[in-house]
Structure 1
Amino acid sequence: MITFHVDRADSVPAYAQLIRQVREALRMGLLHPGDQLPTVRSVVTSCTVNPSTVLKAYRELELAGLVEARQGSGTFVSGTLGDADPHVMARLRSGLSRWLGQAREAGLEAEDVQALIASVITEDSLRQAQAGNGPPQTEPVARAAFGKEGDAA
Structure 2
Amino acid sequence: MITFRLDRRSGVTPYLQLVQQVRQAVRLGWLQEGDQLPTAREVVAALGINQNTVHKAYRELERDGVVLSRPGVGTFVLASLSVRRAAQDPAIRNQLDSWVTAARDAGLDDDDMRAVFEAALAEGEPAAPRQAGQQS
Give the match for residue 46 of structure 1: 46
Give the match for residue 60 of structure 2: 60
- Inter-partner Cα distance in structure 2 for 1:100 and 1:120: 14
Name the larger-Rg structure. Answer: 2
Q: Extract unaligned runs of 5+ from structure 2.
A: 131-136
Cα distance change, pair 66–82 in 1 and its aligned pair in 2 (3 A):
same
Q: CA deviation at 1:94?
A: 4.0
Q: What secondary structure, in the 3-state scheme, does the structure 2 residue paired with 1:76 have?
A: strand
Q: CA deviation at 1:93?
A: 3.4
Cα distance change, pair 120–10 in 1 and its aligned pair in 2 (3 A):
closer
Give the match for residue 8 of structure 1: 8
TM-score, with length taken from structure 2: 0.83
Give the match for residue 97 of structure 1: 97
Q: What secondary structure, in the 3-state scheme, does the structure 2 residue paired with 1:11 have?
A: coil
Letter in 2 for 1:121: L
Question: Aligned ranges for residues 117-136 of structure 1 at < 5 Å?
Answer: 117-126=117-126, 129=127
Q: Extract unaligned runs of 5+ from structure 1.
A: 136-153
Q: Write the deviation string for residues 69-119 of structure 1: whole angstroms up to 9, x where unpaired.
A: 011110000022122238825553343233112101112233432232123
- Inter-partner Cα distance in structure 2 for 1:82 and 1:119: 24
Give the match for residue 74 of structure 1: 74
- Inter-partner Cα distance in structure 2 for 1:81 and 1:16: 17
Is the Cα contact below 8 Å between 2:28 and 2:83 reproduced in 1?
no
TM-score, with length taken from structure 1: 0.75
Give the match for residue 110 of structure 1: 110
Is the Cα contact below 8 Å between 1:28 and 1:86 reproduced in 2?
no
Letter in 1 for 2:97: S
Q: CA deviation at 1:44?
A: 0.5
